[in-house]
Structure 1
């Protein structure tokens, strides 16, 4: 209910103030489970995507955001799931939480880079998104964000008014021919294909290495 109220009240205001450019919104299925896989430039990304998507989107978020009064309300309103930083066991618990959202017919947002880019490049995707796509066998909609790093730059306390662009690409489906989630090669293949599609939408320079690990979303 809180998420619905937030969308009804905040979304029109945000569109009026920030005037986002939204392309390919029709690519996001209105019903049924779907993964939205996006590049990650700013803390604000997990608010921008749900505000312009045609349906509610759930993201994982650092549990620390829920410890701060200033950010707790926002992340709760956007159906974010809190996750503590930790080891492989915590990472798998994050994936299981994402799978639960999808099994319930929801839309789940993921940043395959694992944490936001601090230099604007698109980093190599971690294979958690590949595991999730192969395990759930649901469509993956690639998303390319540009300009969000100008709204909430790293270290900035308050958001700025800047125009952003959100591009939703055509859904990708990964059938049995891609392999199983337990196969490392299959997870890598799926993840790389998703990252290629994100790069086409965002226009970012590609980095051949992983970004610094973090849990702004699913760790792979």
Structure 2
């Protein structure tokens, strides 16, 4: 009975009317070397786990993200226009980043996105690795060694039709500033010939700063830029630098300066002026 229920939910997840499967988000022919069927790259990308994750995201994670951060997202159309898997390269300032960035993606892209998660942090405890694998569709990404093996795993995921959310700095910023991108991003793009979509998230370090276990409400901005591809004769390091520059440009184009103060003061300052005045009028 339970498996029949999951099967029915999966049918709904894939699209209406019942019995007609929604077309895949990315055509298999789009990426070079894509196998006829996706490779078996782990339980987190197999059924019924994919359907369970869809239920968790739709029923809990996405509404909670909206409630806590009310993300302002720019540039979703760049992803809607894409017809092949891509590397989503973002800055990294908070444990809240991944869920907020997934919220920012169009539905079809979100369901086909895998997240590179630091193996030495998220997978040192088996139960924690299972939780983030189920919830966020992660795979272990080593920051301390085994680069060739990690690159191979990431390549297989891209060639099998998955987008890859990749934090190119390799660690979280402690103050919200953008760090230097690691060269692995360019190597991965070069090996797979995948486009890279620059992304920038702002404000999430106030939602869940480094060292904090639970989130606080704070407004967040996500900006998505034009996809980039390696140019003729461009080497991996130069391309990594070009992606970093694109993310910095997204950062510089933020809607408004960041507000300082307590989280309540920041939240109040983020309200539209007419809402703040009407609220004060009602109280008075």
Is 1:53 aligned to residue 105 of structure 2? yes
Q: How far apart, in 1, do the equivalents of 2:252 and 2:126 lie?
A: 34
Q: TM-score, normalised by structure 1?
A: 0.80
Gaps of 5+ in 2: 1-49, 254-284
Q: How far apart, in 2, do the equivalents of 1:158 and 1:131 lie?
A: 35
Q: After alignment, is 52-61 or 124-133 more displaced?
A: 52-61
Q: How far apart, in 1, do the equivalents of 2:129 and 2:68 lie?
A: 20
Q: TM-score, normalised by structure 2?
A: 0.63
Gaps of 5+ in 1: 180-185, 205-220
1:144-155 correspondence to structure 2 within 5 Å: 144-155=200-211
- Picking from 144, 156, 159, the partner of 1:86 is 144
User: Does the Cα contact within 8 Å between 2:86 and 2:163 map onto a contact in 1?
Assistant: yes
Q: How far apart, in 2, do the equivalents of 1:189 and 1:152 lie?
A: 33
Is 1:65 aligned to residue 65 of structure 2? no
Shift of 1:61: 1.1
- Secondary structure of the residue aligned to 1:51 is helix
Is 1:160 aligned to residue 211 of structure 2? no
Q: Give the match for residue 77 of structure 2.
A: 26
Residue-by-residue CA offset, 1:84-133 (whole Å, 9 max, x unaligned): 5532xx22222222111110111101111111111332222111000111
More relative contact order in 1 or in 2 (CA 8 Å, sep 6+)?
A: 1
Q: How far apart, in 1, do the equivalents of 2:126 and 2:214 lie?
A: 14
Shift of 1:150: 0.5
- Secondary structure of the residue aligned to 1:153 is coil
Shift of 1:75: 4.3
Q: Give the match for residue 13 of structure 1.
A: 64
User: Does the Cα contact within 8 Å between 1:33 and 1:106 map onto a contact in 2?
Assistant: yes
Is 1:191 aligned to residue 240 of structure 2? yes
Residue-by-residue CA offset, 1:128-182 (whole Å, 9 max, x unaligned): 000111111121110011001011111112111111111000111224x134xxx
Q: How far apart, in 1, do the equivalents of 2:152 and 2:226 lie?
A: 25
**RMSD, matched Cα:** 2.1
Q: How far apart, in 1, do the equivalents of 2:130 and 2:219 lie?
A: 25
- Secondary structure of the residue aligned to 1:174 is coil
User: Does the Cα contact within 8 Å between 2:116 and 2:167 map onto a contact in 1?
Assistant: no
Moved segments of 4+, more than 6 Å = none
Report the structure number with the largest CA radius of gyration: 2
